[in-house]
Structure 1
Amino acid sequence: MRKTITWAFAFRLRQYMKASLWIMPVFGLAFGVILAECAIAVDATGWPPSGWQYSASTAAGVLSSIVGAMVALLGFVVTIGVLVIQQATGTLSPRYMRLWYRDRLQKTVLSTFIGTFAFAFSLLRSIESNSVPDLGVTLAGVAVAVSLLLLLVYLNRFTHNLRPVAIADIVGRQGLRVFTQGSAAVRGSAPAPGTDYPVPHGAHLTPVHTTSGGVLQAVNVSGLVNTAARHDCVFVLPHLIGDYVPPGAVLVAVHGGMTAVDAERVGGLVALGPERTIEQDPAFALRVLVDIAIRALSPAVNDPTTAVQVLNHIESFLCTVGHAPLPGRYVLADDHGRSRLVLTGRSWEDYLQLSVSEIRDYGATSTQVCRRLRALLEGLLGMVPPAHLPAVRAELALLEESVEQSFSDSVRRAIAQTADRQGIGGRNRSE
């Protein structure tokens, strides 16, 4: 398989491995078997001191108990996983599940339990009346202690992280990290002003079509830039990261070129998949935050305080995004400063609308949500550059219109129109 095709395949493979709950436990299983063989070999040399020696019946009893305990603990962790799935899909957001699958602690716990099980089970076969794997039995006890410690850490972590506000903090920080890294990469490869036109005037167009549909998950920016430089052309990607690209649609538009471009090679530099990922799509993190907030505002849940807490993290996201250049289209250059790749990007209006429009619609009858939204928008008025102010004022006008329609009483309307960062109970901005 060629290198360019391998990149898209490798990206999808990495995504699968990150979301998989069985790959690391399989390695733990293999490691447990290998470690048992090593312990048996060391025992054969007569190295363990006399204090570490066990009778055959004691060793068999201890190892059998460990095998049973590890199976029971695995079932316990699986039960917790089922509860997390129910919690996430019922009260949080199904999109959060993709992030939960990738938790390294959870995979480490599963790997340790299965590795301890395999280690103890492998030692059982070597027990004889006159031969006992003394070192292995001792190590099995140590492995059980480590497993129990990890289980406590695991329970502590998920007890705290299952709260919506904790999840909002995790998702928000991941989204900001992806946005910051992506912005730095774009700035590092942007062409100097006036060095070249993004698309050569009058150049012929060669579309590269996708054979199978999917969500645009990631783009190999450096690979596309280098390929375009090699053929002296410009690649234009008409779709946003996170867009669904139907089968047969134009994936990459090739403008100009001294030599013919291999469509399969170019298509292999763009990864499509069944759903959005956060790797190159910070708006997906924002989507998860908004989903958590509007679920809390549903009549079945009726928890506006959670929506207010999520708005705290949405505001942090918007404050960072608001200070970054968002041209809506990014032109990336090669080493000589010539434009080679044009990417479609999100504007400030896109991020702002995604952040507040649905929360405003679903929380229009909540005094707490309306007050927190006003505090958020008024805070942005004093923080974002002047070019972004019209969009913020437009959202403020929509919020005022929503409050006018939802609160017919003038007193309650005045309360709902007051900015309050705590929703209700905080100091007014006018105080």
Structure 2
Amino acid sequence: MKAFWNRIYDSFTAKLWPLPLLSALVAAVMAVILVEIDIPSEAWLSAYLWPGDAKAASDMLSFIASTTMTVLTTTISMTLIVLQVASGNFSHQLLRDYIQSPAVRGIVAVYVAVFTYAVLVLRSLDSDNKLPPQLAVTVAMIWIFIAVATFIWYVSKVVDMVRVDTIINASVKRTMDYSADATAEDEERAPFPRPTIPEDARRVYADEFGYIQRIDLTGLEKWAKKYGATVVVDVRPGDRVIAGQAVARYWFDPSLAQFDSDEEESRDLEEFRQKDASEVEVDLPSFLSLDLERVSGEDYSLGLRQLLDIGVRALSPGTNDPTTARHVIGQSASALRQLVLEPPCPQVRFADVDEDDTAGRGRLLVWSAVRTCPEMVAAFVSQFRRYGSGEPGVLVDLLQTMELLEENTSDPELLNVINEQRASIVAAAKRQLEDEYDLRMVLTAAKTEASVHEPPPDEGV
């Protein structure tokens, strides 16, 4: 049931049509109700209502409907252009974010609502009745002012949405916000090592291709508690899985099974507990939600992936924009530093604590893997180094970022990654940089034995 509601939520938030459909339904209900309301001429409100006859109201509503469709068509064209620019110049990973933006969904919803309302009110007009539903026509005019304001707001947002600074800042903020939910401060996360997998553990294989949106750990927890099992999930949100790929492992200890009270009456719990683990024939329930593309949310590393796409594309020969690449590295340093200070921890679920349990927690039910800081830092730095090895400014920024991370961590694995990447950057600089000044600038930033003990040379602009 939870998976069903998750799919409904994803459809409503990731698709363009649900919000306009909802706004059209609301507008239709408003039109049906307001055309039946008759305001007496002696009422104080009548002075502010539509003063014309049915013919004038019909012309006005026809104008509203036709104009709304024209502007809506223009809006959709502008949206498609924005999507093309974002995909071609920045990252195809940003397309879903644009569709989910309040500006795009909001203006389409408003104009669909205005069109629906105007058409339904126009349909209710009676040519034999000289007096139209004044309140309904007046509300239609109010809708027009709302639509104009929405269009102006949309244009301003679109201009801002295609600015590279805005895109970079949004990706950094998204990474920092989502990664904050994956730290050890979350009661469902802990720096707990991956448990040792027994030889008789059973494997779970993916049924289809896709990117993991979310993992139903709550369902796994209930299942593992019920059948005395332990589940280890080795994939993470955002991972690409292929049909037939092993995604999890699980094993049983039937003596720890805990059936629900109503099931104890219909099944022999004691008989189940006396079974050998190899005799248990219970399949793991479905727990992966897949999609054809990565989405934000539980996949907090998607923001870094978007930043990488923007920076690497800026370094491509066709774009040749190292300034944008350096801007990406500079802003990404904040997100990487937060990940280092508050490293993501695996999601773990334990059984209830027994009174005689000296460990302070019950047995492990579910362990779910997480992206580690060394993994993300290595992926981020290596790609910039690979494509920007001919730009000394890019290499210097990478070295300064790693120095920042080095000062904020004591993790030996991460420190080892930093040292390896630093050595690779120095080696790449010696291969690619022919100018002695550029090479000396990189060596100084790397603090190698060949560097002078002075601040890095001023790059000028």
Q: Judge same fold: TM > 0.5, yes or no.
A: yes
Matches within 5 A, 1:389-404: 389-404=415-430
Alignment of 1:107-122 (within 5 A): 107-122=105-120
Gaps in structure 1 of 5+ consecutive residues: 1-5, 421-426
Matched residues in 1 for 2:150 and 2:216: separation?
Answer: 37
Q: Secondary structure at the match of 1:216?
A: strand
- TM-superposition CA deviations, 1:84-112 (whole Å, max 9, x none): 12101110011111221211332121111
CA contact (8 A) 1:215 1:274 kept: yes
Runs of 5+ in structure 2 lacking a partner? 255-271, 273-279, 354-360, 447-453
Give the superposition deviation at 1:372: 1.6
- Specify the alignment match of 1:424 in structure 2: none
Query: For each residue in 1:54-75, what CA deviation from the matched residue of structure 2 results, as whole angstroms up to 9, or x when unmatched?
Result: 2222211211111111101101
1:99 aligns with 2:119: no
- Tell me the CA shift for residue 217 of structure 1: 2.1
Deviations along 1:147-190, one digit per CA (max 9) or x if unpaired, are: 111111111112112112211111121122111112257x5135
**Number of residues paired by the alignment?**
413
Corresponding residue for residue 293 of structure 1: 311
User: How big is the shift at 1:351?
Assistant: 0.9
Residue 393 of structure 1, CA deviation: 2.0
Equivalent position of 2:138 in the other structure = 138
Contact 1:319 1:384 (8 Å CA) reproduced? no
Q: Is the 8 A contact 1:25 1:110 kept in 2?
A: yes
Aligned to 1:406: 432
Cα RMSD (Å) of the superposition?
2.6
Distance across 2 between alignment mates of 1:429 and 1:385: 26
Aligned-partner Cα distance in 2 for 1:160–1:292: 17
**Which structure ranks higher in relative contact order (CA pairs < 8 Å, sequence separation ≥ 6)?**
1
The structural deviation recorded for 1:386 is: 4.9
Report the counterpart of residue 25 of structure 1 in structure 2.
Answer: 20
Residue 343 of structure 1: which of 351, 355, 368 is its match?
Answer: 368
Residue 423 of structure 1 is matched in structure 2 by: none
Partner amino acid, structure 1, of 2:135: L
Equivalent-residue separation in structure 2 for 1:191 and 1:175 (angstroms): 20
Spell out, residue by residue over 1:116-168, the C-alpha distance to the aligned partner (whole angstroms, 9 max, x if none).
11111111122234230211111111111111111111111121121122111
Instruction: Check conservation: 2:426, 2:442, Cα contact below 8 A.
Output: no
Kindly tell me: are residues 252 and 192 of structure 1, through their superposed partners in 2, closer, same or farther at Cα, counting changes over 3 Å?
Answer: closer
1:206 match: 202
Whether 2:274 is the aligned partner of 1:263: answer: no
C-alpha displacement of 1:330 = 5.2
Amino acid corresponding to residue 333 of structure 1 in structure 2 = F
How far apart, in 2, do the equivalents of 1:51 and 1:226 lie?
61
> Higher mean Cα deviation, 170-179 or 409-418?
409-418
What is the 5 A alignment of 1:295-310? 295-310=313-328
What does 1:364-383 correspond to in 2, within 5 Å? 364-383=389-408
TM superposition shift of 1:430: 8.6
1:193–1:41: structure 2 CA closer, same or farther, 3 Å change rule? closer
Larger Rg belongs to: 2
CA distance in 2, matches of 1:61, 1:419: 71
Contact conserved, 2:392 with 2:442, CA < 8 A, in 1? yes
For residues 35-54 of structure 1, give each alpha carbon's deviation from its aligned partner in whole angstroms, at most 9, with x where no partner exists.
Answer: 11111111277665144232
Who is 1:41 aligned against? 36
Find the residue that maps to 2:204 and give its secondary structure: strand
- C-alpha contact 1:199 1:255 (8 A) present in aligned 2: no
User: What is the DSSP-based 3-state SS (H/G/I as helix, E as strand, rest coil) of the residue aligned with 1:408?
Assistant: coil
Aligned partners of 1:417 and 1:408: how far apart in 2? 13
- Structure 1 position 154 matched with structure 2 position 150: no
> For structure 1, which segment, 14-23 or 237-246, has the greater mean C-alpha deviation from structure 2 after superposition?
237-246
1:360 and 1:248 map into 2 onto residues whose CA distance is 34
Change (3 A) 1:275 1:9: farther
Aligned identity (percent) is: 22
Kindly indicate whether residue 3 of structure 2 is the aligned counterpart of residue 8 of structure 1.
yes
Equivalent residue number for residue 321 of structure 1: 339
Query: How much does 1:221 deviate?
Result: 2.0
Superposed, 1:141-220 pairs within 5 Å as 141-184=141-184, 187-189=186-188, 198=195, 204-220=200-216
Q: Is the 8 A contact 1:217 1:273 kept in 2?
A: yes
Report the CA distance between 1:113 and its aligned residue. 0.5
Q: Determine the structure 2 residue equivalent to 1:352.
A: 377
Per-residue deviation, 1:362: 0.9
Q: How does the TM-score come out when normalised to structure 1?
A: 0.88
Q: 1:272 to 1:126 in 2, by over 3 A?
A: closer
Partner AA of 1:163 in structure 2? R
Give the alignment's TM-score, normalised by structure 2.
0.82
* In structure 1, distance between residues paired with 2:147 and 2:100: 20
* CA displacement at 1:208 relative to structure 2: 3.1
Q: Distance in 2 between matches of 1:261 and 1:228?
A: 14
Q: CA deviation at 1:335?
A: 3.2
In structure 2, C-alpha distance between the alignment counterparts of 1:279 and 1:193, rounded to whole Å: 23
Task: Report the Cα distance in structure 2 between the residues aligned to 1:36 and 1:193, rounded to whole angstroms.
Answer: 58
CA distance in 2, matches of 1:317, 1:81: 29
